[in-house]
Every structure is written in structure tokens, then in C-alpha cells.
Chain A
Amino acid sequence: SYDLTQSPSVSVSPGQTSIIDCSGHKLGDKYVSWFQQRPGQSPVLVIYQDNKRPLGIPERFSGSNSGNTATLTISGTQATDEADYYCQSWDNRLAVFGGGTKLTVL
């Protein structure tokens, strides 16, 4: 089975840049989505097809994907960005999720 690995936690100060990584074998050959999940809420799509933002998602959210690592970058991190973030990709048309990264804004 295909695995996606994420660091369990990332901490940043308000206004700083948050970097959340997701690694998998030849992940750069696949498309990656990113989801934000605030406590008690359903996940929300923030990036799809590696670097596209859905309508309504702030420009401070961006994504990249190359080699074995996909990255979600949040510029000028705000307190409201504190949440769990999940990467997701596909392996032979089967969906796979990473284990999630808890972003703490100190």
C-alpha cells in the first residue's frame, strides 16, 4: 500500500510562514490535495492539484510538489489558521491520506 508521512506537529508565531510537509514515494508524480480541519469541524479543501486554491481560500495558502515531498505553505500565519492539516493523494485511483499535522500558532 502507498503511504503518506507527515510530521505530527508544527509551531509558529503569528505572522511567520508555516511549512507543512508530506512525503511519499515519487509523490511528485502524483497530484496532492491539502485539507484544513479545525476542532469539531469537517475538513475543508485548501489546495488541490498540488498548487490550486479553491474559491474563498486566502492567497496566503500555497502548495508545491516535487520529488518525494509535497509542501503546504501558509504565509503570514494567523491565529485562525491553527488546525490539523492533512495531505491526500491517489495510488492507482485509490485515495490515501497522510497522518495529519497539528499546526499551533503560539
Chain B
Amino acid sequence: QITLKESGPTLVGPRETLTLTCNVSGFSLSTSGMGVAWIRQPPGKALEWLALIYWNDDKRYSPSLEKRLTITKDTPKNQVVLRMTDMGPVDTGKYFCVHNVVGAGGGWFDPWGPGSLVTVSP
């Protein structure tokens, strides 16, 4: 059974850097055809894809946030880390870590972690 769980600060200050960690189990981050994505959701708003890292360390970023994002993985630790710089109030929301099965056309996202709520405030 594949599970993912996010961890990180619940409160960050303006202009600070957010670091979130996703601990995965039930699969290896080096398994061919697998990836892990970060997706966020501001309160009451829609889902927004942020970044994706594949088993072969290939990475993809949302064009609108690419300059602020870094996604990395530590395979022995079964962890994927997302860093987002220059945080602002609009970045407040729940951040989900999600398993990606690579398939034709991009694949699909399943399952999702419970999410980590991040608030940006002085």
C-alpha cells in the first residue's frame, strides 16, 4: 500500500523560505515509472500543481512558480523535499504530496497525502 505524509512548518514569515518534506512508503523513489508531485490548495480555492520529480531525477515545475521552487529526493530516506522561496500571503494553503504513476500523456496522481497546512504571516 502506497502512502505519503507531508511535514513542515505550519507558519512561515513573509519573504522566508518554506521547506516541506514528504515521507513515502510502499514504493521506492527509484522505481521506474514512478514520480512524486507537490500540489497546493489555497483556502476555498482550486488545486494548483507545483512540481514533480521522477524516478530518474528528472524534474518539472509550474512555469509561474519555477523561479521560486526546488524539488529534490533522497531515495535511501524515502523522502521528497520541496523548497519555495520568498513566501507571501498568497502562498497560504494546504500543500499535498502526491504519488504519480507515469503513463501515456503524463500519467495520473494517486494516492494523495493528507496535506500540510501552511500559513504565511508576520
Interface of A with B (CB < 8 Å)?
1, 30-31, 33, 35, 37, 42-45, 48-49, 54, 86, 88-90, 93-100
User: SS class of chain A's interface: helix, strand, loop or mixed?
Assistant: strand
Minimum distance in angstroms from A88 CB to a CB of chain B? 7
A35 CA to B106 CA, complexed, in Å: 16
Residues from chain A with Cβ under 8 Å of B111 in the complex: 42, 44-45
> Which of B46, B103, B106, B113 is A86 in contact with, Cβ under 8 Å?
B46
> Which of B48, B60, B114 is A93 in contact with, Cβ under 8 Å?
B60
Contact B46 A97 (CB under 8 A): yes
B11 contacts the other chain (Cβ, under 8 Å)?
A: no
Contact A42 B106 (CB under 8 A): no
Closest CB pairs A-B (n = 5):
A90-B106, A31-B105, A48-B108, A95-B49, A45-B110
Contact B37 A95 (CB under 8 A): yes
Interface of B with A (CB < 8 Å)?
37, 39, 46-49, 52, 60, 62-64, 96, 103-106, 108-115
Contact A93 B113 (CB under 8 A): no
Smallest CB gap from A6: residue in B:
B46
Residues from chain A with Cβ under 8 Å of B46 in the complex: 86, 97-100
A98 CA to B112 CA, complexed, in Å: 17
Minimum distance in angstroms from B36 CB to a CB of chain A? 12
Residues from chain B with Cβ under 8 Å of A90 in the complex: 105-106
Residues from chain B with Cβ under 8 Å of A49 in the complex: 103-105, 108
Contact B112 A43 (CB under 8 A): yes
Residues from chain B with Cβ under 8 Å of A35 in the complex: 47, 109
